[in-house]
Amino acid sequence: MIVVMKVGATQAEIDRVMEVLKNKGLGAHLSVGAETTIVGVIGPKEQVRELGIENMPGVEKLVPVSNPFKLASRAFHPDDTTIDILGHVVGGPEPTIMAGPCSVESKEGLIEIAKAIKASGAQFLRGGAFKPRSSPYSFQGLGEEGLKYLADAREATGLAVVSEIMEPGLVDLVADYVDVLQVGARNMQNFALLKAVGRTNRPVLLKRGFANSIEEWLMSAEYIMAEGNPNVILCERGIRTFETYTRNTLDLNAIPVVRHLSHLPIMVDPSHGIGHARYVTTMARAGMAAGAHGVIVEVHTKPEEAWSDGSQTITLDEFDRLSSQVRTIHGLVREYDAEAGKR
């Protein structure tokens, strides 16, 4: 249920609505837009109606919300959410570009990659210190040593750092080193982990599970937000289908659907989405044309020597071209949307 306040409602009227809802044990979340102020209510709609909220001063109307996700819903928060991370605004006027190796391998190699991708326009360095692998015999990451290398690369370049968190007990450790906590596809419905990252003050990059619906994905975002962390970045990274010529099928449908249903920013991961380096740039362009706020890609100085995911990793030269094309397409989409009066 949402409470739509009248245009010109006073702060005292808004505060009174919030007070009445909270006194009855209902969740109340205030969203102040350019034109409309909305109070999102978490609780049984029958209980809300019994309070007579619609008759209170300053209230325009009550509107039921049918989606099971509330905090992530655009109905609760009509304006797009933007997240400022070390001076770069995710969901803002510039595209967000995250890049780096699948796994952190060495301090020197990581800093070399970080300097190169920054020169090509990236604002974020991604790298795995703890790696969830399909095989228990595959390289599992350098652990805390890898996190230290990421922090060193941030110090050397000013890039914000993104790395995956795999279990609740590691949240505090990883959060000490990185700027964005990534919840990977395999952990999208690890609800204990979602709650744990929801209790931090770090933005969360939430990847879609490869066999999960859009609603399940948004409900996972809801778990994080319900713990008090509103800074969730969604990431479409491909779903499992019958196709065998690609690693996954990058679901471009999800991008406009999510932008319609939710206010949260959305990224696209063409590296995992298709799984072959030769197609990554093409799918990055497609994702941006579909309305993504940015891309996250795997990059290495020598992909053929990468310790993990080398087959889907692009070179620094390829990344330079990809970054330029992503920025161009993002600008064209924003220009078109401004002319068409769309978001």
CATH number, domain of 42, equals 3.30.70.1140
Give the residue with greater pLDDT, 27 vs 304: 304
- Would residue 87 count as lying in a domain? yes
**Pairwise CA distance, residues 250 & 273, whole Å:** 4
Tokens at 232, concatenated: 């969730």
pLDDT per position as a tens digit, 203-246: 999 999 999 999 999 999 999 999 999 999 999 999 999 999 99
Same domain, 291 and 159: yes
Q: Is the pLDDT of residue 177 over 80?
A: yes
**Pairwise CA distance, residues 159 & 90, whole Å:** 14
pLDDT per position as a tens digit, 247-297: 999 999 999 999 999 999 999 999 999 999 999 999 999 999 999 999 999
**Domain-terminating residue out of 33, 63, 93:** 63
- Would residue 78 count as lying in a domain? no
- Would residue 260 count as lying in a domain? yes
Same domain, 155 and 302: yes
Same domain, 53 and 14: yes
Give the residue with greater pLDDT, 52 vs 298: 298
- Would residue 70 count as lying in a domain? no
**Pairwise CA distance, residues 125 & 176, whole Å:** 16
Same domain, 182 and 133: yes
- Would residue 75 count as lying in a domain? no
Same domain, 134 and 261: yes
Same domain, 207 and 240: yes
Helices vs. strands in the chain: H and E counts, helices first: 11, 14
* DSSP assignment of 24-66: TT-EEEEEE-SS-EEEEEES-HHHHHHTTGGGSTTEEEEE---
Least confident of 72-81, 198-207, 276-285, 294-303: 72-81
Burial level of 209, CB count in 10 A (0-12/13-18/19+)?
buried
| 278: Cβ contacts below 8 Å, ≥ 6 apart | none
pLDDT per position as a tens digit, 311-339: 999 999 999 999 999 999 999 999 998 88
**Pairwise CA distance, residues 295 & 49, whole Å:** 43
Q: What are phi and psi of 192, to 5 degrees?
A: -65, -40
Same domain, 91 and 53: no
Same domain, 139 and 268: yes
Q: Work out the pLDDT band at 1, boundaries 50, 70, 90.
A: confident
Query: Mean pLDDT of all residues in the chain?
Result: 93
- Would residue 71 count as lying in a domain? no
Q: pTM for this one? A: 0.90
Give the domain extent around 49.
2-63
| 342: Cβ contacts below 8 Å, ≥ 6 apart | none
Q: Is the pLDDT of residue 88 over 90?
A: yes
Q: Is the pLDDT of residue 343 over 60?
A: no
pLDDT per position as a tens digit, 116-174: 999 999 999 999 998 766 666 566 678 999 999 999 999 999 999 999 999 999 999 99
Q: Is the pLDDT of residue 342 over 60?
A: no
Same domain, 93 and 6: no
Least confident of 53-67, 70-84, 325-339: 53-67
- Would residue 69 count as lying in a domain? no
Number of domains, the chain: 2
- Would residue 130 count as lying in a domain? yes
End-to-end CA distance of the chain: 24
Per-residue model confidence (pLDDT) at position 139: 64
The domain that holds 167 is classified in CATH as: 3.20.20.70
Per-residue model confidence (pLDDT) at position 321: 98
Per-residue model confidence (pLDDT) at position 162: 98
Same domain, 229 and 93: yes
* DSSP assignment of 102-141: SB---HHHHHHHHHHHHHTT--EEE-BSS---SSTTS---
Same domain, 48 and 188: no
Same domain, 188 and 296: yes
